[in-house]
Amino acid sequence: MRPTPALAAGGRTVASFLSATEWMLPSPATQVHTISVLPSRLEFAFSNLTTSLRNGGGNGSETGNPKFQIVRDDLLHPLANGNKARKLDALLPVLRHCGATDIVTCGGCQSAHAAAVAVHCAEWGIRPHILLRGEQLDVPTGYNLISLMFGNVTYASRSLYAQRDEMLYEHAIKVAGCSGTVMWADEIIGKDLGLDEDTTDGNGSRKVMIVKEGAGSVQALLGVMRLLEYLSGLTLFGKDEKVHIVVDSGTGTTAVGLALGAVCLGLQWRVTGVMLADTLERYKQRERSLVSDFEKVFPQIYHGMVEDATHDNLVQWVERFSPRRFGKVLEGEIAMCRQVAQQTGILLDPMYTLAAWEQAVDLCCGDSAAKVLMIHTGGTLGLFGLAQRYSPQFTTGEQS
Ligand SMILES: *Cc1c(COP(=O)(O)O)cnc(C)c1O
């Protein structure tokens, strides 16, 4: 898929569309740090040039070493992780605009999505109702704890959870009560939303919106495109500079939003998504379906921008260096996260962000001329859940 020649004009169209959109985050701004990769005898060593130089560190020996940039979206919010806030950035305002009083969603027992919905709804005065898969934990930690603090959590058995849509709908009906209404967030998106102020009606009846697990919708793409537009405006990147973005992927929505943003803004940027939760075929399928939904909902933007609409090959999907069943942590990975934390002040988790880090290190040590830019998608609180499951790996303080 290539940008049309009429890019300059088109780029403005997208930019003006984004600037007219109502957002949850007051600003798209985020910090970008530069990481220097120091080759050492056995393994790599790292240093965070942005923070160490700021503090008078860095002795100049770093010049000439491979470098990459990292977008610190993990610092976007202390409790709701980076890319989840991005995915809700455009969605939550639409739902509130439609008079939502309550939101129902679901997720796995350590779901960062569910926790982010709970936190941001609470901030916005909407009541969050969270269905978590599995049994109540004896000691709630991490995202589970955040969902419990900010949302109304109900645990759902695996068999109930298998019928996800029915489960969500039945729960929403219960929340709505006899005078309330229930809607799927996906269905109101793209409709002309003439604001009906009186939907938050005086009679106190509930208006319940259902957000599917992962919030992988067209609206989620917009928030990610807003991030990309912000990054493209930084002086760090030259006007026609080639940039290679790396991001760890669950559903792949974040990666698709970044790639679509690059095409729509006419940038020479490409996106590598590290596949963590599914097969290549499924990632490609989801990419096609997200892009075609985007085309349906925003035809005016899409057709101005994209020349050959194959709905395919926007993102370069790659395997993790050490593929495994999703959620599994391999020997040495926690030690690696600890090393990165101690050398750079950046916290990675072995499930998601370490995979993108490894990819970024590999790319920037290669011979590509493009600047490498990793998106830190957050995941910090996921470590608390992992520490419960893999406690022996976390209990040795000394590193070899
Ligand atoms: C949810 C999550 C992802 C997955 O994002 P997708 O848009 O579904 O690909 C990646 N990394 C972290 C840390 C996450 O919490």
Per residue in 328-368, pLDDT tens? 999 899 999 999 999 999 999 999 999 999 999 999 999 88
pLDDT band at 327 (very low <50, low <70, confident <90, very high): confident
Q: Is the CB of 214 under 6 A from ligand 1?
A: yes
Q: pLDDT digits over 103-132, tens only?
A: 999 999 999 999 999 999 999 999 999 999
Nearest CA to ligand 1 atom 2: 250
Cα 257 from Cα 253, distance rounded (Å): 6
Q: Is the CB of 378 under 6 A from ligand 1?
A: yes
Prediction pTM value: 0.92
207 lies in the same domain as 222: no
89 lies in the same domain as 203: yes
Q: What is the CATH number of the domain that holds 189?
A: 3.40.50.1100
Q: Is the CB of 379 under 6 A from ligand 1?
A: yes
Q: What's residue 217's pLDDT? A: 84
| Buried b / exposed e along 151-184 (16+ C-beta atoms within 10 A) | bebbebeeebbeeeeebbbebbeebbeeebebbe
Count of domains for the chain: 2
In a domain, 359, yes or no: yes
Cα 284 from Cα 271, distance rounded (Å): 14
126 lies in the same domain as 42: no
The last residue of a domain, from among 182, 211, 240:
211
Q: Looking at 36, 111, 217, 249, which residue is catalytic?
A: 111
Q: Could you write out the three-class secondary structure of the chain?
A: CCECCCHHHHHHHHHHHHHHCCCCCCCCCCCEEEEEEEECCCCEEEEEHHHHHHCCCCCCCCCCCCEEEEECHHHCCCCCCHHHHHHHCCHHHHHHHCCCCEEEEEECCCCHHHHHHHHHHHHHCCEEEEEEECCCCCCCCHHHHHHHHHCEEEEECHHHHHCHHHHHHHHHHHHHCCCCEEEEHHHHCCCCCCCCHHHCCCCCCCEEEECCHHHCCHHHHHHHHHHHHHHHCCCCCCCCCCEEEEEEECCCHHHHHHHHHHHHCCCCEEEEEEECCCCHHHHHHHHHHHHHHHHHHCHHHHHHHECCCCCCCCCEEEECCCCCCCCCCCCCHHHHHHHHHHHHCCCCCCCCHHHHHHHHHHHHHCCCCCEEEEECCCCCCHHHHHHHHCHHHHCCCCCC
Q: Is the CB of 11 under 6 A from ligand 1?
A: no
pLDDT band at 391 (very low <50, low <70, confident <90, very high): confident
The last residue of a domain, from among 185, 211, 237:
211
Which residues have a Cβ under 8 Å from the Cβ of 80 and sit 6 or more positions away? 88, 112, 115, 116, 119, 120, 146
95 Cα to the center of ligand 1, angstroms? 22
The last residue of a domain, from among 211, 242, 259:
211
In a domain, 395, yes or no: no
180 Cα to the center of ligand 1, angstroms? 33
Averaged confidence pLDDT in the chain: 88
Nearest CA to ligand 1 atom 13: 379
The domain of 113 spans 82-211
Q: pLDDT digits over 263-308, tens only?
A: 988 898 999 999 999 999 999 999 999 999 998 888 888 876 766 5
Of 147-156, 179-188, 225-234, the poorest mean pLDDT is in 179-188
In a domain, 398, yes or no: no
Q: Is the CB of 359 under 6 A from ligand 1?
A: no
Which residues have a Cβ under 8 Å from the Cβ of 295 and sit 6 or more positions away? 302, 303, 309, 311
In a domain, 399, yes or no: no
In a domain, 35, yes or no: yes
In a domain, 322, yes or no: yes
- Strands 67-71, 32-39: pairing is antiparallel
Q: pLDDT digits over 196-252, tens only?
A: 555 555 678 999 999 998 777 899 999 999 999 999 999 999 888 999 999 999 999
113 lies in the same domain as 259: no
107 lies in the same domain as 75: no
Choose one of 317, 377, 381 to mutate for the ligand 1 pocket test, by most ligand atoms within 8 angstroms of C-beta: 377
232 lies in the same domain as 357: yes
Q: Is the CB of 348 under 6 A from ligand 1?
A: no
75 lies in the same domain as 88: no
169 lies in the same domain as 302: no
61 is catalytic: no
257 lies in the same domain as 378: yes
277 Cα to the center of ligand 1, angstroms? 10
Q: Is the CB of 252 under 6 A from ligand 1?
A: yes
Atom of ligand 1 nearest to the CA of 87: 7
339 lies in the same domain as 265: yes
Tokens encoding 126? 């909407």
272 lies in the same domain as 367: yes
Atom of ligand 1 nearest to the CA of 356: 11
In a domain, 60, yes or no: no
90 lies in the same domain as 34: no
Q: What's residue 43's pLDDT? A: 78
In a domain, 248, yes or no: yes
Nearest CA to ligand 1 atom 4: 250
Q: Is the CB of 257 under 6 A from ligand 1?
A: no
